Amino acid sequence: MKTTLLFLHGALGSTEQMSFLGKEFSQFNTLFFEFSGHGKTPDVDRNWSIQEFSEQLLSFCKKHNTPLLVFGYSMGGYIALHLALRHPEQFKGIITFGTKLDWSPEVASKEILKLDPEKILLKIPQFAEELKARHGENRWKDVLRKTSELMISLGDHPVLFPGEMKSMTVPVLYGLGEKDTLVSLEETKLFQNATPGSELKYFTDTPHPIERVNPGMFQKETMRFIESIERNS
């Protein structure tokens, strides 16, 4: 029976954005989950939060009769870690990539400056067109607004802390690109050192955007971790 590998997108992302990576893992039963309000998935009439998205992911995981191996990009990795601490039975292992772990009001204030739709239209219109195509002409600005609100809330009330990670029982591989300007090596090491049995993979010459990851290199460098989970399961 094939192992199921679930892909989780990041903030402003969608399942379509992650599909190119799934092609590198054809030996697995690959699944993609899209959080509400993103891509083509209808929005729920609630504020976006890590807790809300974790509940959505939990409902999805429960539909499967076996623990899932999960790859979470950026926000997707944060949500997977948050849920795994509370429901480890749903996970076989977690690979994060480019996941911002150290949140504060200062960090959130800096990041939301990049989410102003009018500035995006003016300064990086190509990105605006990408967001329109990904989320729809009528709601891409709502995605930016709700993501900003989520970041502000997360900055004021982080839900992951290094001290909490010592109770993690799910195998975790923390992935980080060498050229990531959002996530620091220091914060990633801090969480990795606090997570029992976890590993850290530093991808050379790799920035934060998932679209700029070399899929072949990513597959090669993560398979050792996946194979070790398979051997021990």
pLDDT in tens, 72-119: 999 999 999 999 999 999 999 999 999 999 999 999 999 999 999 999
Q: What's the pLDDT score for residue 231?
A: 85
Find the helix or strand (DSSP H, E) in which 21 lies: helix 15-22
Q: What's the pLDDT score for residue 219?
A: 93
Q: What's the pLDDT score for residue 10?
A: 98
Question: How far apart, in Å, are the Cα atoms of 59 and each of 83, 132, 185, 190?
Answer: 11, 28, 32, 30
Share of the chain above pLDDT 90, in %: 91
- Domains of the chain listed by start with CATH number: 4-102+158-232 (3.40.50.1820)
Q: What's the pLDDT score for residue 63?
A: 93
The residue-averaged pLDDT of 10-30 equals 93
The residue-averaged pLDDT of 203-222 equals 93
* Structure-block tokens of residue 160: 């992951």
pTM over 0.85: yes
pLDDT band of residue 45 (cuts 50, 70, 90) is confident
Output the average pLDDT for the chain.
95
pLDDT band of residue 66 (cuts 50, 70, 90) is confident
Residues sharing a CB contact under 8 Å with residue 151, sequence separation 6 or more, in sequence order: 11, 103, 108, 111, 112, 115
Which is nearest to 146 in space by CA: 79, 49, 34, 40?
A: 49
Q: What's the pLDDT score for residue 2?
A: 78
Number of H helices, E strands in the chain: 9, 6
Torsion of the alpha carbons at 141, 72, 35 and 10, rounded to the nearest 10? 0
The residue-averaged pLDDT of 157-175 equals 97
Q: What's the pLDDT score for residue 186?
A: 97
pLDDT band of residue 203 (cuts 50, 70, 90) is very high
pLDDT band of residue 65 (cuts 50, 70, 90) is confident
175 pLDDT above the threshold of 70? yes
| DSSP classification of residue 65 | S
